[in-house]
Amino acid sequence: MSDTERACVICGAELPRYPASRKTCSADCRARLNYMRWRANRHAAAERKREARLAQGGRLCVECGKPLPPDANVQAKICSDACRRQRTLRLTHERGERQAERARAERAERALRTVRVKITDLRTGEVRWEDRPLIPYNASPGQEYAKRRERLLEQERRNAAAINAVLGPGEE
């Protein structure tokens, strides 16, 4: 074959000189070449991902803190099935703890906000106990309401100022 002659890159069969971009002799050889390209690209991409991961110093298991296997999936955060089970157990336990803590806090707050009052019926002399809202000794309910309203207005003014700072004054 002279150097002006061209050959299929897969099977070596002779190719017409034009079009010069043509590299294979047949549909079969073209499919095979495309498959080889696809594989080469895939390997190159995997290689780049591995290199990037190594450059980051490798990733660590979020459960045990040991390095993930080098071939671990890009999204992987956990090194093994054992760690996965351990994590599920731990998260379930922690969720229970948080719920219990919230319940304790709610009970404590209820106790703070109410007071148990002994009420005697003046006509019948009958005695009963009631949980009444606890009001600070130095404030009347009306004063409390006014203070709360003032705090809300103040918060609204601050929000408006913050929005203004970002967006500029609204159009009138």
Query: Which of the stretches 20-28, 45-53, 140-148, 156-164 binds Zn ion when contact is defined by CB under 5 A?
Result: 20-28
**Which of these, 15, 45, 42, lies nearest to 30 by C-alpha position?**
15
Minimum gap (Å) between residue 85 Cβ and Zn ion: 11
Do 23 and 8 form a contact (C-beta atoms < 8 A)? yes
| 13 vs 40, beta carbon nearer Zn ion | 13
Judged by CB under 5 A, does residue 15 bind Zn ion? no
Do 118 and 129 form a contact (C-beta atoms < 8 A)? yes
Minimum gap (Å) between residue 65 Cβ and Zn ion: 7
Query: Which of the stretches 63-71, 101-109, 124-132, 151-159 binds Zn ion when contact is defined by CB under 5 A?
Result: 63-71
Minimum gap (Å) between residue 16 Cβ and Zn ion: 13
Do 117 and 111 form a contact (C-beta atoms < 8 A)? no
Instruction: Kindly state the helix (H) or strand (E) to which residue 132 belongs, with its residue range.
Output: strand 127-133
Q: Are strands 114-120 and 6-7 parallel, antiparallel or unpaired?
A: unpaired
Judged by CB under 5 A, does residue 68 bind Zn ion? no
Query: Which of the stretches 49-57, 83-91, 137-145, 157-165 binds Zn ion when contact is defined by CB under 5 A?
Result: 83-91
Q: Is the peptide bond before 133 cis (omega within 30 degrees of 0)?
A: no
Binding site for Zn ion (CB under 5 A): 8, 10-11, 13, 25, 29, 61, 63-64, 79, 83
